[in-house]
Amino acid sequence: MTALQIEQVPVLSDNYVYLIHDPETGCCACVDPAVSVPVNARLDQLGWRLTHILNTHHHNDHIGGNLELKQAYDCEIIGAENDAARIAGIDSKVRDGQTFKFGSKTCKVFEVPGHTSGHIAYWFAEDKALFCGDTLFALGCGRLFEGSPAQMWDSLSKLMALPDDTRVFCAHEYTQANAAFAITVDPDNAALQSRMTEIETLRSQGKPTVPSTLLQEKQTNPFLRPEETGVQKAVGLVGEDAVRVFAEVRRLKDNF
Ligand code: ZN
Ligand code: FE
């Protein structure tokens, strides 16, 4: 099995667009094209021909380049059936648990509502790659624009059930700001402290902090740790259930 090639394209102020290329078949997908121009330029540079667009949700910084890329490449746009009306140019509508063929690979879809009601994530099991849009970030999670804390916790729990060595390709470079908050609600977490040092170093060299691994997130991301006593203590909710603690961590971050 040949591994998928994954390219990270930084666009706008802090978005990451991803290009996924299957060398066996030449299939090439773009995840969440916020804009088309830099995506086109990178495709030209790599000599890859776009065959698919995978959208995680309807926000413009995730679908803004859909129609221009479709016009240029006649590619197939895949998005959530639940949110089809808000995904520009959608061709194929997918649901929770559904799998589809991408070249020689299989991709599985998870519905992960919370940030938006129709948010989905794409998982390439053989390549240990998860494209989770604005649901799970390095040391953070998406704001709850269209969902309840219970829904988001349920969504994050689905992602946490994937293998620890899954690479988490999120859609924004928010890690440094997330870290500054994380340490306030998980102050005694040694793994978080050392990850913060690594993040500082990477950013000072202009390097991305994404992807991380799911294991790293489980160990250091406070939004995945509402069951940990350290986090419960820091937010004053020792012994409370995960949803209640998660909701409080999210509320504190919104006001940070
Ligand atoms: Zn968004
Ligand atoms: Fe976004």
CATH superfamily of 5-254: Ribonuclease Z/Hydroxyacylglutathione hydrolase-like (3.60.15.10)
| C-alpha 16 – ligand 1 centre gap (Å) | 12
Q: Residue 241 catalytic?
A: no
**Rounded to the nearest whole angstrom, what is the distance from the C-alpha of residue 43 to the centroid of ligand 2?**
22
Name the active-site residue from 22, 32, 52, 61: 61
- Given this model, what pLDDT does residue 66 score? 98
How many secondary structure helices (H) and strands (E) does the chain include? 9, 14
- In a 13 Å sphere around the CA of 230, the CA atoms on its Cβ side amount to 18
Give whole-number Cα distances, 135 to 26, 67, 124, in Å. 29, 24, 17
217 and 195 Cβ atoms separated by less than 8 Å: no
Our measurement of the distance from residue 15's CA atom to the centroid of its chain's CA atoms, rounded to an integer in Å, reads 11
CA atoms within 13 A on the CB side of 195: 28
Count of Cβ atoms closer than 10 Å to residue 52 Cβ: 21
Residue 224 is classified by DSSP as G
**Which ligand is in closest contact with the Cα of 12?**
2
Q: What is the pLDDT of residue 1?
A: 78
Would residue 58 show up in a list of annotated catalytic residues for this protein?
no
Concerning whether 172 is annotated as a catalytic residue, the answer is: yes
SS (H, E, C) 74-138: CCEEEEEHHHHHHCCCCCEEECCCCEEEECCEEEEEEECCCCCCCCEEEEECCCCEEEEECCEEC
Active site (annotated) includes residue 96? no
Residue 201 Cα to ligand 2 midpoint, Å, equals: 25
**pLDDT < 70 positions in the chain:** none
The sign one gets for the Cα dihedral 156, 238, 165, 6 is positive
Ligand nearest to the CA of 59: 1
d(CA 89, CA 111): 20
Using CA atoms, how far apart are residues 163 and 86, in angstroms rounded to an integer?
A: 31
Q: Is 59 a catalytic residue?
A: yes
